[in-house]
């Protein structure tokens, strides 16, 4: 067994208000020290360290994809073949790796050096194809670069990643100048006016800060578009329990890679936003729940928090970075709370809502990274200035990520209500003939080229057009793509990510995947199409959490809008 | 002032602290449930108990829904029935629910739900079968029949606190695991059978009962467990003169349905040929049968002799752990007051 001392364990446990929360980080630590594997011996060590029963630990270990209960090679090559990756040629990359390593997906080379896997969405949609090797990303991969990567790894070298993509900010609020080498530092941030907003907020009464954010009518940027200030005002008054703030940085909706732009290059903006929000809601403890794959971004955030703390900015709140371990559903706020409590990431039934009973049964506010990063601007310039950006009822700047078939995929910060056309032009325009576009991350209905024509990108306009702005992850699809194949990829993602708790999502996604695979493989029947449609109409509003709707809506739109393509595959 | 909800248009008075499901059931209305059990509480996972509530967007699980005055609830609208049918069909399609050979045929909550929803055969099939686990002494696990309601898990961890069962893996590969996904027979399971008692389907069954009787062939006899002083309430499921299975009586004190491995599975001794049915007195040639009066007279005489010859402290009383508290109390009074010794003990184990 590796050397994990009690002191190391205690140090982790002491960071948390309740010790069970340390389960995931302790498992991450023990796995890393145990050849990237949690075998039974390691699991027993975790059980002992956490004082949690073995069945509970094994339940966690098999829930999160980043825990390996079986051995993996020294280098675990994980190719993201989800929809954006697929559009960028990830299948060819996986096939090539399989060929040069002479192993199938899921296998390990006989020398124990490489394990090849395909994975679902690494939030590198504009920089795909992407391969995750252990805890590092290799983006913008080509066949030639794959050969170089494998050669280098064989020699024990780790090559540099190329994360380049188009970045443009019309608003200059959320995306900073990342070409500056010191863009992440406190000094750079303060030189450009950073932390003045926090100073201003601290001189205000918390209720006035809440009112300002409420007045700005900022709608949540995580996907649901619920006004953040209103969410804050749901906190119970005169309650003796502590209030917790959680920053949702579990960016995992395919097509979405915006939050990592803020966290990686402008971390102090998020920290200042959290510090202001914590002051407003009187939270002394705040968490950044970041997806586990973003290990290096978690380090950037920790460094930035340390800088801010040393500078006296965080005297009123302790911010802790907590890494997830591979689960899309943990982006749902109640699942995130469960995960933060050291459990499987199963969403809770609502009510109660987190504002009343969230983390450890205490009042909790969960806000998205981009939402919190918008707060400094609101406080510094006032709600009225914020409302001047965007269109009525849809205020402020928004980061749009563009992936798929455009010439220059990347991230683009524009006011809400900006025409889709403008953003596609900024992304170098569509490659080939546009077939459809998914504007809000994979969980929203696809729009045909005609439907997308003239669309404005704000919550209300998207709803009117029969889709949703969601997270603003725009996936562009040209006419070379088969819609049944696209639908199959889509359901594969949600089936894989279903927490497995409720019947409609767990079994519904399995049946839909099974039927769509049958159709794509030429084994389908006409009634399969109707069954898929029927399930997609029944599941929304029936599943325990929004995941059921997250796959029903896009699949239903793909099957109904492009039905002839499905029918053409039935013999 | 009393508060009302309207279920399918009918006003029903309710008390605070009850869920819509409880109120409906108390008023004789049928709402199917699978993951709900009175002891494990609402889980909101199976979604089969959903109802439509005026003013609420999604369907609501009645097991977790708190009624409020004037709430208008539909339990049999087309939307509700379609949703329930979808849930039951999905469960039927994704398992091996073969009622013909199933041990719980006739006592299965999934079967009941399908029956009441008018589902004769599953609307579609997706089959992927796992192996049955018959490695344990008394319990057979059949993951193909498991509907992942979680009742066994709440029972194992929250009620009897043996901490063996848990959900493992995820998506449609989610399954109930023992410890670190070991066969039950190799796990730390003590075979209390709480999971069998709580299972709404045939995913956990009693090994000893397999092939013995259909559910409708047995009648139940309520009795008290003879093993220890707790006095657990048992229901013997009897076919003819033969016990087929034993379950704990739900809602009855002191055990509220819980049993231990002995109470649930250790009933074969009553059919043993070696069982002692009358008192036996040992003589030079071995044991001979005697009446209770003769035997007790003999014991009393011998006790008196020993007391006279060696004093009361030459005697000691040990009561059996099978005795109830009251019997042990009388034993100590007998020894302290009648015999005159403080030499008393209790074996405290069976």
Test mutation, A56, A494, A542, chain B, max B CBs within 10 A:
A542
Would you tell me how many other CB atoms lie within 10 Å of the CB of residue B241? 6
Q: A344 at the B interface (CB within 8 A)?
A: yes
| Residue-by-residue DSSP string for B250-278 | TT-TTTTT---HHHHH--GGGG-TT---S
CATH of B131-211, one of 3.90.950.20, 3.40.50.2030, 3.30.70.20, 3.40.50.300: 3.30.70.20
The answer to whether residue A163 sits within a structural domain is: no
CATH code for the structural domain at B215-275: 2.20.25.90
**Domain ends where: A339, A366, A387?**
A387
Per-residue confidence of chain A (571 residues) as pLDDT tens digits?
Answer: 557 889 999 999 999 999 999 999 999 999 999 988 999 899 999 999 999 999 999 999 999 999 999 999 999 999 999 999 999 999 999 999 999 999 999 999 999 999 999 999 999 999 999 999 999 999 999 999 999 999 999 999 999 999 999 999 999 999 988 999 899 999 999 999 999 999 999 999 999 999 999 999 999 999 999 999 999 999 999 999 999 999 999 999 999 999 999 999 999 999 999 999 999 999 999 999 999 999 999 999 999 999 999 999 999 999 999 999 999 999 999 999 999 999 999 999 999 999 999 999 999 999 999 999 999 999 999 999 999 999 999 999 999 999 999 999 999 999 999 999 999 999 999 999 999 999 999 999 999 999 999 999 999 999 999 999 999 999 999 999 999 999 999 999 999 999 999 999 999 999 999 999 999 999 999 999 999 999 999 999 999 999 999 999 999 999 999 999 999 999 8
Q: How far is B39 from B124, CA to CA, in rounded Å?
A: 33
Q: A531 at the B interface (CB within 8 A)?
A: yes
pLDDT band per the 50, 70, 90 thresholds, residue B350? very low
Enumerate the H helices of A311-368 as residue ranges.
333-340
* Same-domain pairing of A301 and A176: yes
DSSP H or E segment with residue B52: strand B50-53
- Give the global pTM: 0.93
* Same-domain pairing of A202 and A344: yes
Domain CATH code at residue A346: 3.40.50.11540
CA distance A37 to chain B (A): 14
* Same-domain pairing of A405 and A535: no
Complex prediction ipTM: 0.91
User: Is there a shared CATH topology between the B3-91 domain and the B215-275 domain?
Assistant: no
* Same-domain pairing of A269 and A340: yes
* Same-domain pairing of A275 and A372: yes
Q: B47 at the A interface (CB within 8 A)?
A: yes
* Same-domain pairing of A400 and A355: no
Q: Which residue has tokens 């009441």? A: B116
| A62 to B91: CB separation less than 8 angstroms, yes or no | no
Across the A/B interface, how many CB contacts are shorter than 8 Å? 133
* Same-domain pairing of A368 and A438: no
Q: What is the pLDDT of residue A452?
A: 97
Q: What is the pLDDT of residue A149?
A: 97
* Same-domain pairing of A241 and A294: yes
Sort out which chain B residues have CB atoms less than 8 A from A503's CB and list them: 45-48, 87, 90-91, 147-148
* Same-domain pairing of A254 and A354: yes
Q: How far is A198 from A209, CA to CA, in rounded Å?
A: 11
Closest residue, chain A, to B162 (C-alpha): A53
Domain of residue A346: give its range.
168-387
Spatial contact of A524 and A569, defined as CB atoms under 8 Å apart: yes
* Same-domain pairing of A324 and A198: yes
Sort out which chain B residues have CB atoms less than 8 A from A543's CB and list them: 47
Among partner residues B57, B94, B177, which is closest to A55 by beta-carbon distance?
Answer: B177
Among partner residues B47, B57, B126, which is closest to A502 by beta-carbon distance?
Answer: B47
> What residues are paired with B322 via a beta bridge?
none
Q: What is the pLDDT of residue A359?
A: 98
* Same-domain pairing of A24 and A95: no
Q: What is the pLDDT of residue B349?
A: 54
Asked if pLDDT for residue B124 goes beyond 80, the answer is no
CA distance A507 to chain B (A): 6
Which CATH fold topology does B3-91 show? Ubiquitin-like (UB roll) (3.10.20)
Among partner residues A55, A506, A535, which is closest to B165 by beta-carbon distance?
Answer: A55
Spatial contact of A426 and A166, defined as CB atoms under 8 Å apart: yes
**Could you state, in order of their start, the residue ranges of all structural domains in chain B?**
3-91, 131-211, 215-275, 280-346
Q: What are phi and psi of A482, to 5 degrees?
A: -85, 125
**Domain ends where: A348, A365, A387?**
A387
CA distance B228 to chain A (A): 29
Q: A535 at the B interface (CB within 8 A)?
A: yes
Q: What is the pLDDT of residue A177?
A: 86
Q: What is the pLDDT of residue B126?
A: 66
Residue in A502, A415, A425, A507 with CA at minimum distance from that of residue A461: A415
Q: How far is B71 from A409, CA to CA, in rounded Å?
A: 51
Q: How far is A119 from A141, CA to CA, in rounded Å?
A: 15
Domain CATH code at residue A456: 3.10.20.600
C-alpha separations of A20 from A270, B167, B314 in Å: 27, 18, 56
Domain CATH code at residue A148: 3.40.30.10
Q: If contacts are CB pairs under 8 Å, which of residues 166-185 in chain A contact chain B?
A: none
Q: Please classify residue A282 by burial: count the beta carbons closer than 10 Å to its beta carbon, then call 0-12 exposed, 13-18 middle and 19+ buried.
A: middle
Q: What is the pLDDT of residue A543?
A: 96
The answer to whether residue A235 sits within a structural domain is: yes
Average pLDDT over residues B294-306: 96
Burial A519-557 (b: 16+ CB within 10 A, else e): bbeeebeeebbebbbebbebbbbbbbbbbbbbbbbbbbb
Average pLDDT over residues B248-260: 96
User: Sign of dihedral through CA atoms A93, A98, A99, A104?
Assistant: negative
Q: What is the pLDDT of residue A214?
A: 97
Among partner residues A499, A531, A541, which is closest to B59 by beta-carbon distance?
Answer: A541
- B289: phi > 0 → left, psi -120 to 50 → alpha, else beta; which? beta
Q: A43 at the B interface (CB within 8 A)?
A: yes
Q: B48 at the A interface (CB within 8 A)?
A: yes
Test mutation, B167, B183, B184, B189, chain A, max A CBs within 10 A:
B167
* Same-domain pairing of A310 and A357: yes
Among partner residues A58, A349, A503, which is closest to B87 by beta-carbon distance?
Answer: A503
Sort out which chain B residues have CB atoms less than 8 A from A339's CB and list them: none
Spatial contact of B193 and B225, defined as CB atoms under 8 Å apart: no
Largest CA distance in chain B: 88
Task: Indicate the number of domains in chain A.
Answer: 5
| A500 to B171: CB separation less than 8 angstroms, yes or no | yes
Q: Spell out the SS3 assignment of A1-44.
A: CCCCCHHHHHHHHHCCCCHHHHHHHHHHHHHHCCCCCCCHHHHH
CA distance A34 to chain B (A): 17
Q: B282 at the A interface (CB within 8 A)?
A: no
């Amino acid at each position: 067994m590796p050397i994990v001392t009690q002191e190391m364990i205690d140090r982790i446990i002491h960071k948390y208000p309740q010790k069970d929360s340390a389960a995931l980080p302790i498992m991450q630590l023990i796995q890393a020290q145990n050849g990237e594997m949690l075998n039974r011996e390691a699991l027993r060590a975790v059980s002992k360290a956490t004082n949690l029963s073995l069945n509970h630990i094994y339940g966690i270990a098999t829930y999160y994809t980043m825990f390996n209960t079986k051995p993996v090679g020294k280098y675990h090559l994980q190719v993201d073949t989800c929809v954006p990756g697929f559009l960028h040629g990830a299948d060819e990359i996986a096939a090539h790796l399989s060929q040069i390593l002479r192993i199938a997906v899921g296998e390990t080379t006989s020398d124990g050096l490489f394990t090849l896997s395909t994975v679902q969405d690494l939030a590198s949609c504009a920089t795909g194809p992407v391969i995750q090797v252990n805890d590092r990303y290799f983006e913008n991969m080509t066949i030639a670069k794959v050969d170089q990567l494998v050669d280098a790894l064989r020699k024990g070298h780790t090559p540099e990643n190329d994360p380049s993509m188009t970045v443009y900010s019309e608003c200059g609020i959320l995306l900073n100048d990342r070409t500056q080498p010191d863009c992440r530092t406190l000094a750079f941030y303060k030189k450009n006016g950073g932390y003045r907003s926090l100073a201003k907020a601290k001189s205000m009464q918390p209720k006035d800060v809440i009112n300002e954010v409420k007045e700005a009518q900022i709608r949540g940027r995580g996907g649901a578009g619920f006004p953040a200030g209103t969410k804050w005002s749901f906190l119970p008054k005169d309650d003796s329990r502590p209030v917790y703030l959680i920053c949702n940085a579990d960016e995992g909706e395919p097509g979405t890679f915006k939050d990592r732009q803020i966290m990686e290059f402008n971390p102090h903006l998020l920290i200042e936003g959290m510090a202001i929000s914590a002051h407003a809601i009187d939270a002394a403890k705040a968490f950044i729940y970041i997806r586990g794959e973003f290990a290096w971004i978690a380090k950037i955030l920790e460094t930035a928090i340390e800088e801010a703390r040393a500078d006296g900015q965080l005297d009123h709140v302790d911010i802790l970075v907590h890494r997830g371990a591979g689960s899309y559903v943990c982006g749902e706020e109640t699942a995130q709370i469960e995960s933060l409590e050291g459990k499987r990431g199963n969403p809770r039934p609502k009510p109660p809502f987190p504002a009343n009973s969230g983390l450890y049964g205490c009042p909790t506010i969960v806000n998205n990274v981009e939402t919190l990063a918008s707060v400094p601007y609101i406080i510094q310039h006032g709600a009225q200035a914020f409302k001047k950006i965007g269109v009525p009822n849809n205020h402020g700047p928004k980061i749009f990520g563009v992936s798929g078939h455009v010439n220059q995929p990347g991230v683009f910060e524009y006011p809400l209500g900006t025409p889709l056309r403008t953003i596609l032009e900024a992304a170098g325009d569509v490659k080939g003939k546009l077939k459809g576009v998914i504007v809000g991350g994979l969980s929203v209905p696809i729009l045909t080229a005609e439907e997308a024509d003239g669309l404005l990108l704000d919550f209300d306009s998207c709803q009117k057009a029969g889709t949703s702005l969601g997270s603003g992850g725009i996936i562009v699809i040209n006419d070379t793509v088969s819609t049944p194949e696209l639908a199959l990829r889509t359901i594969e993602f949600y089936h894989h990510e279903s927490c497995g708790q409720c019947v409609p999502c767990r079994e519904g996604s399995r049946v839909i995947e099974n039927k769509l695979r049958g159709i794509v493989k030429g084994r389908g029947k006409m009634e399969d199409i109707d069954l898929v449609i029927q399930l997609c109409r029944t599941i929304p509003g029936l599943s325990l959490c929004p995941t059921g709707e997250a796959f029903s809506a896009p699949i239903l739109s793909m099957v109904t809008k492009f039905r002839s393509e499905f029918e053409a595959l039935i013999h | 002032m009393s508060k009302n909800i309207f279920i399918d248009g009918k006003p029903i008075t309710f008390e605070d602290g009850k869920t819509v499901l409880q109120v409906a059931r108390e008023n004789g209305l049928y709402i199917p449930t699978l993951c709900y059990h009175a002891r494990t509480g609402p889980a909101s996972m199976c979604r089969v108990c959903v109802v439509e509530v005026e003013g609420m967007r999604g369907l609501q699980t009645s097991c977790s829904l708190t009624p409020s005055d004037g709430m208008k609830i539909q339990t049999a609208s087309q939307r509700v029935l379609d949703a329930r049918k979808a849930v039951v069909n999905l469960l039927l399609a994704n398992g091996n629910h073969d009622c013909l050979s199933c041990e719980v045929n006739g006592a299965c909550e999934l079967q009941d739900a399908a029956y009441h929803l008018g589902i004769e055969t599953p609307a579609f099939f997706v089959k992927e079968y796992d192996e049955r686990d018959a490695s344990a002494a008394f319990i057979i696990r059949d993951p193909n029949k498991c509907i992942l309601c979680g009742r066994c898990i709440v029972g194992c961890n929250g009620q009897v606190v043996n901490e063996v069962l848990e959900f493992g893996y995820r998506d449609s590969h989610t399954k109930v695991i023992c410890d670190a996904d070991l066969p039950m027979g190799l796990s730390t399971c003590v075979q209390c059978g709480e999971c069998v008692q709580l299972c709404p389907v045939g995913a956990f069954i009693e090994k000893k009962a397999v092939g013995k009787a259909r559910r409708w062939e047995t009648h139940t006899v309520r009795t008290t467990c003879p093993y220890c002083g707790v006095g657990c309430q048992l229901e013997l499921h009897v076919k003819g003169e033969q016990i087929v299975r034993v379950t704990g009586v739900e809602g009855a004190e002191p055990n509220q349905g819980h049993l231990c491995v002995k109470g649930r599975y250790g009933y074969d001794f009553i059919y043993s040929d070696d069982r002692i049915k009358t008192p036996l007195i040992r003589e030079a040639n071995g044991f001979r049968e005697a009446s209770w009066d003769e035997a007790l007279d003999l014991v009393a005489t011998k006790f008196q002799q020993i007391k006279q010859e060696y004093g009361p402290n030459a005697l000691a009383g040990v009561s059996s752990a099978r005795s109830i508290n009251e019997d042990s109390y009388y034993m100590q009074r007998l020894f302290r007051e009648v015999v005159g010794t403080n030499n008393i003990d209790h074996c405290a184990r069976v």
